[in-house]
Structure 1
Amino acid sequence: MPFKRPAPLEASSSNLSSPSDSHLEDIEGPSKRSKISLPTKVLPDIKLYVIQAKLSSPRIAELFTLAEKHCQKLCNDIDEADVVVTAISMRRRLERHMSWEVATTKAVVTPEWTLPCDCEETDYGSTQSPVAYPSSSASAASGSPRQRKASHGKIPPLDLSAEIRVEVPSHLLPPRDPVPTNLERLTYTSRYACQRASPLLCPNQELALELDIIRRSRALEGEERSALSYARAISTVKAYPHRIKSVSQVQRLPHLGAKISGLVEEFLDKGQISEARDIMTSERFKTLTDFSSVYGIGPHTARRLFDLGLRTFDDLEVYYGVDPAEVDTELMELEHEENHPGWKGRKAAQQQDDFDESWIKIALGLRADLSKKIPRDEVDEISKVVMHELEIIEPGCVSTIVGGYRRGKPESNDADIVFTHSDGPKVKGLCKRLVRQLHKQGMVSHVMHLSSFHGHNPLRTTHWDSLEKALTVFTLPKSSSLYTGTRRRLDLIFADPNVYWCAVVGWSGSIMFQRDLRQWANDKCGIKFDSSGITRRYDSKPFYPGTEKEVFDLLGLEWVDPTWRNTDV
C-alpha cells in the first residue's frame, strides 16, 4: 500500500518543544515493514543533510520533498547539519562521505526516520509530521541500541562500528583440504597437455629453454603454425618425467616429429642447439623481443618499427614523442575515460597490435616499472589490498589469485585476480566500480582494457572470454609494508558465481594447457569451454560446476592441480 502523507502541523511558538521534553514519544527503530513511531510535535529549523550514496533518484526526491514539507531545512554542508540521513550501514563506508569525528556529533539516521509510515501500521494521527531529532552529544554514538532507543527526544544513531557479514556460499570457497593429483592416472604420452603432469621445472628444462628460443623467434616473425608446433613440443618435453639421454626415448612421444627430434639429438650431442644460439646473437631477434615487451606493441608492429630502422627503446621514445618525466602526470580521470589516453575503456582492442599510439606512448613511459618481475609476497599483498577495497564497495566477495602465481612461479609478470559475489546478477559492473575505487585511493593510474560481461556464446571462435575484466596499472599504497612506488600490471576479472570456477581454471594457465583443454572439450565432449562458461554445442545447454575439480569432471578428465599445469618454460 502506498504511503499516505499526513497534513503538516502548523508550527507556533506555543507548540514547539526541545528534543529532551519528557512528553515526547519514544522513537522506535524501523522493523522489516518500516514501522516508525513519530513524535507528536514538529520541530522546525532542523538542518538535514542527505548522503545520496545507495539511494535511488526517486528515493532522494521523496526525502527532499518530505523534508521541505515538514519544516526541515536542507543544507549543503554536512558540518552544518543536525541530522545526517544515510542508507549506508558500515562505518568504513560512511567515512568515505564524512569523518567519524563529525559522525559522532550528529544524529546519523536511516531514511525511514524521515519518511511517514503506512497509516494502517502506526497510530500517530493526521496532525503529526515526520521529523528527525539530533543527538545532544557525541556520546549518542555509543551504547547499546536498547539504551539509545530509551533516550527521549534522541534518535538512535546507526551502529556503524559493526561490520556487515555477508555469508558466502560454500561452493564458492576453495576446498578445505586440497585435492591431490593422482599422477599415476596421468600419462605423458597423451596428445593433450590437459592429460599430462607438467611441473614448474622438469628434468629436461635446459632442452625446453633451447626450443623456446626458436618458438619465440617464429612467433615474432609471424610464423604462427611453426610457433605452435614448437610450443606443443615444449609441452611434451616438460611432461616427460625422465632425463632424456637418447633420441630413442622421445620417438614415441607426441608432437616430436623428425625436425624437432633432430634438434633434440643435436642438444644431446653438443649441449645446445646451433639455431637457437644463432637466434640469440641476432640483432633482429633482440630488437623484436625488446619492442614486443612494450604493452601495446605486438609482433606485427615490432617488425614494422624494425623495418623503419628503429633499434632501441630510445629510438621508440623519439619516434612516439615520449617524455618519461611526464608519465607520472598522466593520471587517469575516470569521469572522462573515453577521452583520456590512459583509458582504453570498453572499446579496447583485444589484440595488442590494435592499440593506438596514445597508449603505446604511455606504455613506453611505464616500461621501466612494468618490465620488473613481481615476487610472490608482493602479489599476496596486492590481492589483500584489492580485496579490502572490494569489501568496502560490495561485502561478501571471494577471490582467487590466478596466473603463474597459482602455478607456483616465484615471480610473475603481472598479478591476476578472479573474483565473484554470490549475488552475481545484482552486482554486474562491479569490476568498473572496483577500478573507480582503486583509482580514487590513488592505486590505479591507468586502465589498458575495461570490458563488461556478456553471456557465454558457444558459437564464438575467439578465446578472449566475455567476462568483466580490467587490465590496469597498479601501485601499492604507501601504508603497505611492501610499498616501493613500483607500478605493476594488475588484471582484475569479475565472473558470475555460476561460472566462477570456469574463470579460475581458464585464467590459471598455462597457455598450452588451456588450449588443449578447449580442444579436448570440443573433440571428446562436444562442449564449448572457456573462462566464461561451459555449454554443450548441439543445444547450447549450460553447465555450472560447483568446484574447480568439477570442471575437470564435466570434461571427463583426471584432476590436475595448478602446480602441474606448467606446459611452458
Structure 2
Amino acid sequence: MSIRSRTLSRNVLSQIEMADSGSSAANLHHQEPSRATNLDLSRLPPVYVLAAHLSLNEQHEAEDVLSSGGAPLTYDIKEANLVLGNISKKRRAKSELQWKGVRMEDIDSEDGLHASRSSSASGDSKQAKKRRRLANARDGRGQRATEEIDSSTASETEEDQVDTKPMSQLSLSRVSTPSTMDSSNTIEFKEPSPSMLTPEAFANKVKVVKLDWLNDSLCAGKLQNLEPYTIYKARLLPAAEPAVKSLPMVKSVGIKPDLVINKNPYMKEGALRDIVERANADPKPAVNGYNKHDRIKYAAKQDIVGKSFSSSTQAANQPHTQSVTRPTQLLHQTTSEHDEAVSSTLPPPPDWVKGNKIYACERATPLISPNKDFIAELKKIRLARLLTLDEIGVRAYSTSIASLAAYPYPIQSTREILALPGCDQKIAHLFHEYQTTNRLLAVEDLEADPALKVLREFYEIWGVGAKTAREFYYDKGWRDLDDIVEHGWKSLSRVQQIGLKYYDEFLLKIPRSEVESITATITDHAKFVTDSNVETIIVGGYRRGKSESGDVDVILSHRNEAMTYNLVDRVVKSLEKESWITHTLTLNLTNTKRKQEPLPISTATLGGHGFDTLDKALVVWQDPNWATKKADLATNPKAKNPNPHRRVDIIISPWRTVGCAIAGWTSGTTFQRDLRRYAKYRKGWKFDSSKYPFGAIISPSIPQSKS
C-alpha cells in the first residue's frame, strides 16, 4: 500500500476523538494480584516472546517465567515454533514474522478448525458452551455484554477473538488465581493432550499465540489449550540461499557436546553439535570495559545490515552477520565514448560547470528538470539515508541532486555526470544502471524493506522527525498509525497529536489558487489590525513556481517598523476569532522580544538560532465556509466542516530584513545551506534571515577568502 494513499481507519479516528474528549483506555478492570503457580513448560516447542506492546521489563518477566518453567526459550524468532505476543490481530502477527525475516506460508484455516474440533471432542453430541467477553460492545446500562458462542469457533480469525489487555494492566507477576477471578469473565478450556505438544505437531510450523495463554495457564496451574488463543498459523519454508555467504566458521575446541544434558526433543539430530561449534567460533566479549547497550541503535543496525543502503561502518560493526550483498559493479566505459564524434554530440557545458561552482546559490535551476525521473530515484535513496540517520549520505545526495537539477540538458553520458560539481563515480554508476535498465536495484530494495516502509509512514506525521520515527519503531515497537493511537497517544506532544489527527489531510497538495485565497484572507486581517500599507509576499514552493504546495508560507512586512512589532500575535488572534485558524502549533515572538534589533555579528553569540529568529506562527488552517453550510447546520447543529485542514506559516519581517527573509523562506534546504557557506567562505559574511538587507554584513572576525 502506498504511503501517500494510506488512510486512517475509522477505528483510529474514533480513538483520536475519544482521546481528544478525555476518554482513556485506563479504565480497564484490574484484577487482584496473586502469586503465580509454577508450571512444567518443558513440553513446549522452542518459544519466542515478541517485544511489541511490551515494556522491556514486561518482556524480560515473560521470558523469566518461561525459562524457570523449563521452556526451550529462544532469542532467534527463526528458530521458534511458538511465538507469544501481546497482540490480537492476525494481520499484525503475520507482519511481525515477516518483519523479522521468517519465511512462511499461511496454513489453511480449515486445518486449524479441524484440529480445534478434534482436540475438544468429548463423545458428547452436545458441545460445551462457553462465554466470551466483548471488548467493544456494551449494553444500554454501560456494562460489558456477553454472548454464548460455540467452542468449535475457537480457531477463528482475530476479528472474532477476545481483545487482550495491555501488559501494563495485567502483569505476569500479578495474575489472579481462579478463585479471585469473576466466573462470568473467564474462559474454561481443557488441558491440551500430550500429543498436541509433540515435535511432530509443530514440525515445520509456527504458531503465534496471545500472551494471555501464559497468564491463564499460570492462573489455572496447568497448561491451557493453545487453540483458543492462537492468532496465526503458518508453515515454515526453508531459508533462502544468500547471494554472497558469510565466511565459514572456524572450528575451535571448547564446550564438548557430550557434556550437554536435557536435550530438547524438538532439536534435529546434529543440530546440537552445530550450535556448540557456532558458539565456540563466536568472538569472546571483552571484559576490560563496560559498553552501554543502546537498544535503538542496535536494532537499527540489525535491520539494515546486509541491505544495499547500509554504510560500511554499520556493516563493520556486525562482521559475523550472514547477509545478502550485491556484488560491486564497475562503471563500464568504452573508447567510443571518448571519440571526437561522440563528444561533439554532447551539449556545451554551462558556465557554472566550466567554472566548477560548487554552491547551489551560484547557479540557476529550472522549475522542471529534463532529468527529473532519475532525480526522483535519487531522492528515494536520500530519504532512506535520512531515515537511517546517515547525515553524511543525506548531504552528499542533496549536493548531487541540486547539481543534476540545475543541469539544463538531458544527460546522455556518464561523462556529463562526472563533470558536474558534487557528482562522483557513485552517481555516475547509478545513472549508468538507470540508463541501461530504467530502474535502480538499490531503490527496489529500499521500497521492499518493511522497516523503511513503517519509518516513512511515521516520518510523514507532522511534528515527527527521522529520529523520533525510529524511536517509535525500534524503542516503542509500533508498526502502524493504529499502534501510535492505541498505545502511545498520551505520550505524544500536542503538535504530534494534531499531525496524526489530520495525517491524510496534511498530505494533500494545495493548488496555487487556494494558496492565493488563503494569502488574501491573511492580508485582509493584517490590514485590519494595522493599516492598508501592509505588504504580503508568498514564498516557499509557490514562489519557486510549483503548481501545488505542501503548505502555505506567507511573509508580512511594513515599511513602518513600529507596525510589525507584535504583529503576528494580533493577526493570529483576528483569524482565530473568525475560525480560519483551528489550531496554533507554535507562536514565536523572538524578534519582538528583542525589540526587532538584528542579531549580533559575533560568532560566539550567533550559535543556536536555527533557521532564523523572525516572529512567526505555524498554524492549522480551515476555510470556515462551505456551500451547504446553512442547510447542514439546520439539519445537524454539530455538522462537521468538510473543507480540508491546511498547514500555514505566517512570518513577520521588518522592512529592513525582508530581502533576507524572502531568500531564506523561498529556497530549499540545500540552497539555504550553500547560501550560508558561500557567504561565509567566499565573502566573509554571515547570513541570517533576520539580519540586515541581503545579509551583507562583513564580519572583521572572519578573513576574506582569496578565491
| TM-score interval, normalised by the smaller of the two chains | 0.5 to 0.7
TM-score by length of 2: 0.44
The answer as to 2:346 corresponding to 1:203 is no
The answer as to 2:635 corresponding to 1:467 is no
| 1:456 alignment counterpart | 599
| 1:517 alignment counterpart | 675
| 1:190 alignment counterpart | 357
Cα shift readout 1:73-94 (whole Å, capped 9, x = no counterpart): xxxxxxxxxxxxxxxxxxxxxx
The answer as to 2:634 corresponding to 1:496 is no
Letter in 2 for 1:367: Y
The answer as to 2:525 corresponding to 1:382 is no
Structure 1 Cα separation of the partners of residues 494 and 624 of structure 2: 27
| 1:487 alignment counterpart | 645
Letter in 2 for 1:296: G
| 1:447 alignment counterpart | 584
Letter in 2 for 1:399: T
1:481–1:253 distance in 2 versus 1, CA, 3 Å: farther
1:202–1:296 distance in 2 versus 1, CA, 3 Å: same
Structure 1 Cα separation of the partners of residues 534 and 701 of structure 2: 29
- Structure 2 counterparts to residues 132-531 of structure 1, below 5 A: 189-307=356-474, 308-321=476-489, 357-395=493-531, 396-452=533-589, 453=591, 454=594, 455-458=598-601, 459=603, 460-461=606-607, 462-478=609-625, 485-531=643-689
Q: Provide the secondary structure at the position in 1 that maps to 2:418.
A: coil
Q: Provide the secondary structure at the position in 1 that maps to 2:557.
A: strand
**Higher RCO (C-alpha under 8 Å, 6+ residues apart):** 1
Q: Provide the secondary structure at the position in 1 that maps to 2:428.
A: helix
Structure 2 Cα separation of the partners of residues 425 and 265 of structure 1: 58
- Structure 2 counterparts to residues 9-24 of structure 1, below 5 A: none
Q: Return the offset for 1:196.
A: 1.4
Indicate if the aligned counterparts of 1:187 and 1:197 stay in contact, CA closer than 8 A. Answer: no
Q: Provide the secondary structure at the position in 1 that maps to 2:616.
A: strand
1:540–1:532 distance in 2 versus 1, CA, 3 Å: farther
Q: Percent identity?
A: 31
Q: Return the offset for 1:457.
A: 3.6
Q: Provide the secondary structure at the position in 2 that maps to 1:473.
A: strand
Structure 2 Cα separation of the partners of residues 221 and 440 of structure 1: 43
Structure 2 Cα separation of the partners of residues 528 and 371 of structure 1: 35
| 2:699 alignment counterpart | 538
Structure 2 Cα separation of the partners of residues 380 and 538 of structure 1: 39
Q: Return the offset for 1:295.
A: 1.4
Structure 2 Cα separation of the partners of residues 388 and 540 of structure 1: 44
Letter in 2 for 1:538: S
Letter in 2 for 1:429: N
Q: Provide the secondary structure at the position in 1 that maps to 2:419.
A: coil
Structure 2 Cα separation of the partners of residues 479 and 390 of structure 1: 23
Letter in 2 for 1:320: G
Indicate if the aligned counterparts of 1:186 and 1:197 stay in contact, CA closer than 8 A. Answer: no
1:522–1:356 distance in 2 versus 1, CA, 3 Å: farther
Q: Return the offset for 1:421.
A: 1.1
- Structure 2 counterparts to residues 557-568 of structure 1, below 5 A: none
Q: Provide the secondary structure at the position in 2 that maps to 1:202.
A: coil
1:400–1:269 distance in 2 versus 1, CA, 3 Å: same
Structure 2 Cα separation of the partners of residues 295 and 391 of structure 1: 30
Letter in 2 for 1:293: E
Query: Which range moved further: 450-459 or 246-255?
Result: 450-459
Where does structure 1 lack aligned partners over 5 or more consecutive residues?
1-182, 323-354, 542-554, 556-569
Letter in 1 for 2:466: P
Q: Return the offset for 1:426.
A: 4.6
Query: Which range moved further: 285-294 or 482-491?
Result: 482-491
Q: Which one has the bigger helix percentage?
A: 2
Indicate if the aligned counterparts of 1:463 and 1:530 stay in contact, CA closer than 8 A. Answer: no
1:252–1:446 distance in 2 versus 1, CA, 3 Å: same
1:540–1:429 distance in 2 versus 1, CA, 3 Å: farther
Q: Return the offset for 1:481.
A: 12
Cα shift readout 1:316-339 (whole Å, capped 9, x = no counterpart): 2112338xxxxxxxxxxxxxxxxx
Letter in 2 for 1:477: P
Q: Return the offset for 1:472.
A: 0.5
1:381–1:306 distance in 2 versus 1, CA, 3 Å: same
Indicate if the aligned counterparts of 2:551 and 2:646 stay in contact, CA closer than 8 A. Answer: yes
TM-score by length of 1: 0.55
Cα shift readout 1:443-489 (whole Å, capped 9, x = no counterpart): 11111111111532433245420100000001123179999521100
Letter in 2 for 1:239: A
Indicate if the aligned counterparts of 2:621 and 2:645 stay in contact, CA closer than 8 A. Answer: yes
Cα shift readout 1:215-268 (whole Å, capped 9, x = no counterpart): 010011111111110010001111112211211122121111222222122112
Where does structure 2 lack aligned partners over 5 or more consecutive residues?
1-348, 630-640
Indicate if the aligned counterparts of 1:187 and 1:195 stay in contact, CA closer than 8 A. Answer: no
Structure 1 Cα separation of the partners of residues 619 and 514 of structure 2: 16
Structure 1 Cα separation of the partners of residues 385 and 624 of structure 2: 41
Indicate if the aligned counterparts of 2:387 and 2:456 stay in contact, CA closer than 8 A. Answer: yes
Indicate if the aligned counterparts of 2:564 and 2:654 stay in contact, CA closer than 8 A. Answer: no
1:467–1:221 distance in 2 versus 1, CA, 3 Å: same
Structure 2 Cα separation of the partners of residues 540 and 365 of structure 1: 48
Structure 1 Cα separation of the partners of residues 426 and 698 of structure 2: 37
Structure 1 Cα separation of the partners of residues 512 and 364 of structure 2: 23
Structure 1 Cα separation of the partners of residues 569 and 361 of structure 2: 33
Cα shift readout 1:58-104 (whole Å, capped 9, x = no counterpart): xxxxxxxxxxxxxxxxxxxxxxxxxxxxxxxxxxxxxxxxxxxxxxx
RMSD: 2.6
Q: Return the offset for 1:365.
A: 1.0
Indicate if the aligned counterparts of 2:539 and 2:554 stay in contact, CA closer than 8 A. Answer: yes
Indicate if the aligned counterparts of 2:384 and 2:446 stay in contact, CA closer than 8 A. Answer: yes
Indicate if the aligned counterparts of 2:621 and 2:648 stay in contact, CA closer than 8 A. Answer: yes
Indicate if the aligned counterparts of 1:372 and 1:413 stay in contact, CA closer than 8 A. Answer: yes
Indicate if the aligned counterparts of 2:626 and 2:642 stay in contact, CA closer than 8 A. Answer: no
Q: Provide the secondary structure at the position in 2 that maps to 1:400.
A: strand
Q: Return the offset for 1:511.
A: 1.6
